Structure 1
Amino acid sequence: MVRKMAFRARVYSISVVVGVGVGGWILGTFTERKRLLQISDKFYDGTHETSSNFCFHKNFPALPLCGTVSAASPIENKVVVSQPSILPASTRVSEIMRYGFPGLDNVRSFDDYVLSYDRRTRVPHWVFEHLTKDKLKYNDAVDRSKCQFYEDESQHIFFRALNTDYKGSGFDRGHMAAAGNHRLHQKHVEQTFVLSNMAPQVGRGFNRDAWNRLEKYVRKLTKKYVNVYVCTGPLYLPRKESDGKTYVKYQVIGANTVAVPTHFFKVVVGEAEDRSLEMEAYVMPNQVIDDNTPLSVFQVPPESIERAAGLLFFDRVSRDKLSAVNGKKK
């Protein structure tokens, strides 16, 4: 009898300890979940959007302090702002990305441009540049011929493009951030030769001709505007096939299956001395283009590129604040 009572007492004691432990875990989990929900509510109601106290993502160079930006919110009722509050005003990145990030997937900053890299396709999602007349001044100390294409070792080896992928493919290693846009320092132009800034482009008739004309045109805009902001990237557009169905098809090259975009885009915003803004948007097919084709043929509504690319350009500027789009006054 005494032995049974001792056994029951021991079982009761163990049950109490286990019960207290489980109860404490449940209470702690409930309390923590409630705290996170309260923080999340504050974060998403917009009142704490720029506060680092409500960030849940690790900070990386070139990324805003928080893991979200206004690109996910409607553009209505937005106003032009001089500097994004989510970045220090003194950094070169904040100058380049002054009017917003198109997206935040695998963003990396270089000394004079910013890119978002697509690990799946091995080419950029987008690159962003800020051009001025002074930054494009000729510097005879800068020699493009000394530059060599090199792999981006900041990317995991699984997701890198290599020079061997392009060799024998018939495609050029086409700059997204143009080498000619970064003339101030040798290091700046060299950094445009990283393969994460490249995409396969048809060479003669496109990269070396029509696309080059568009790049030169964008540089000339610095004579008209105090600041020129340009976003460049690839597109993979659908096409109807003989069976009547629509497909997205694109070639891949090399052992690392680097994607060959069907088209490329440039979205440009020029800022005049009076702070007024004008936007131009272009889409070019990745194919031989007749030299006599005017660039205006390739102008498209910016919204069509946003839909196709899954990006929002210059989202810190309301479209109704633009004084002109593709040369048409609003």
Structure 2
Amino acid sequence: MQRIFSSKLFVSGISLALGVGVGAAWVGSNSDNESRWGHGSDRGLLERIPVIPIPSVNASELIPHQPGQVALSKSTAAMKYGFPSLANIKTRESYVTSYDPRNRTAAWVIEQLNPETLSGQSDRKYCEFKEDDSVHIYHRSTNADYRGTGFDRGHLAAAANHKWSQKAMDDTFYLSNVSPQNPHLNQNAWNNLEKYCRSLTKHYLNVFVCTGPLYLPRQEPDGKMYVKYQVVGKNHVAVPTHFFKVVILEKVRGEVELRSYVMPNMPLDEKIPLERFLVPIESIERASGLLFVPNIMKRTSALKAITMGA
């Protein structure tokens, strides 16, 4: 497999200090964008989103994870930058999620990655996909919903991100943490993005990852825009048109960086560099109904005030 993760990528991307121009430039710069996004109208939607630069903050003002320190709760640690929304919040061993009962999948999942969470003896061969009993039977998905559909049960919080505890890994196999995902995407380009997020823990103190589905509109032959997506199984589990990842990176000393990615739920050439899927964070916020930037700004502003007061 060709390696597409260069060391330069580790320190490039979308920084809070630099805004999100990299993603904006990609969205409208290549003639083959339509093949990657699946629909030209998706590209147009993102091109119209204004880019708002975000100031940097000093990582010394943050409350970092200390190597060797065991947090009281990994899920509590994942809450550091707040929630993109407040509906149907559920906490697991090491991630937090907001469940969407209408679509039978999560709206978002937040997890914190560092070398400690990625290390351990946990093995996915001991895990099985299971219904989430905390979700009402009317609103939950089942394994039968996926059977014969041609879609993978695609993890939102990846199993390999939580090797530190077998229970933590087991929790990623709740069906409330998966969405119907094209198998070629799940096992190739999306898998590359998950691996890349894990590799960032070698270069940053903490890596916070928020993942979720998108249901983007497209223009139909009548010239009108429609949001259309497939549903599978007797419980009508929604098949996302796209998936997003928002990555918050904390340096030991320096600024906090923000990178945001969108991939269409379709086969993609795994050799396409991951930076080609960078998009403005505002495009994800608008398309998903979620908010990330205000939470980051509130968090860093509060820590600045505490530091100055001290």
TM-score bracket relative to the smaller structure: 0.7 to 0.9
Matching residue of 2:101: 119
After superposition, the Cα gap between the structure-2 partners of 1:77 and 1:297, relative to the gap in structure 1 and judged at 3 Å, is: closer
Matching residue of 1:174: 154
- What runs of 5+ residues in structure 2 fail to find an aligned partner? 1-52, 64-70, 302-310
- Post-superposition CA distance 1:97-138 (Å, at most 9, x none): 10111011101000100111000000100000000122212x
CA deviation after TM superposition for structure 1 residue 314, in Å: 4.8
Do the aligned residues in 2 keep the contact of 1:210 with 1:291 (CA within 8 Å)? yes
CA deviation after TM superposition for structure 1 residue 164, in Å: 0.3
Matching residue of 2:186: 207
Matching residue of 1:41: none
Distance in 2 separating the partners of 1:142 and 1:90: 20
SS in 1 for 2:163: coil
Moved over 4 A (4+): 75-83
Do the aligned residues in 1 keep the contact of 2:74 with 2:112 (CA within 8 Å)? no
CA deviation after TM superposition for structure 1 residue 253, in Å: 0.1
Pick one of 285, 291, 295 that aligns with 1:312: 291
- The letter of the residue matching 2:144 is T
SS in 2 for 1:158: coil
Pick one of 81, 93, 97 that aligns with 2:79: 97
Pick one of 123, 126, 136 that aligns with 2:118: 136
Do the aligned residues in 2 keep the contact of 1:100 with 1:314 (CA within 8 Å)? no
Do the aligned residues in 1 keep the contact of 2:247 with 2:258 (CA within 8 Å)? yes
CA deviation after TM superposition for structure 1 residue 292, in Å: 1.7
Q: How does 1:1-330 map to 2 (within 5 A)?
A: 82=62, 91-137=73-119, 139=120, 141-203=121-183, 205-274=184-253, 276-318=255-297
- The letter of the residue matching 2:80 is R
- Post-superposition CA distance 1:121-174 (Å, at most 9, x none): 00100000000122212x2x3121111000000010000100000000110000
Distance in 2 separating the partners of 1:275 and 1:191: 34
- What runs of 5+ residues in structure 1 fail to find an aligned partner? 1-74, 84-88, 323-330
Percent pairwise identity: 53
Distance in 1 separating the partners of 2:75 and 2:208: 12
Comparing 309-318 and 126-135, the one that deviates more? 309-318
TM-score normalised per structure 1? 0.69
Distance in 2 separating the partners of 1:251 and 1:313: 27
- The letter of the residue matching 1:273 is V
Aligned length: 239
Structure possessing the higher radius of gyration over alpha carbons: 1
- Post-superposition CA distance 1:174-216 (Å, at most 9, x none): 000000100001111111000000100000x200101000000
CA deviation after TM superposition for structure 1 residue 77, in Å: 9.9
After superposition, the Cα gap between the structure-2 partners of 1:91 and 1:272, relative to the gap in structure 1 and judged at 3 Å, is: same
Higher relative contact order (CA 8 A, sep 6+): 2
What is the Cα-based RMSD across aligned positions, in Å?
Answer: 2.3
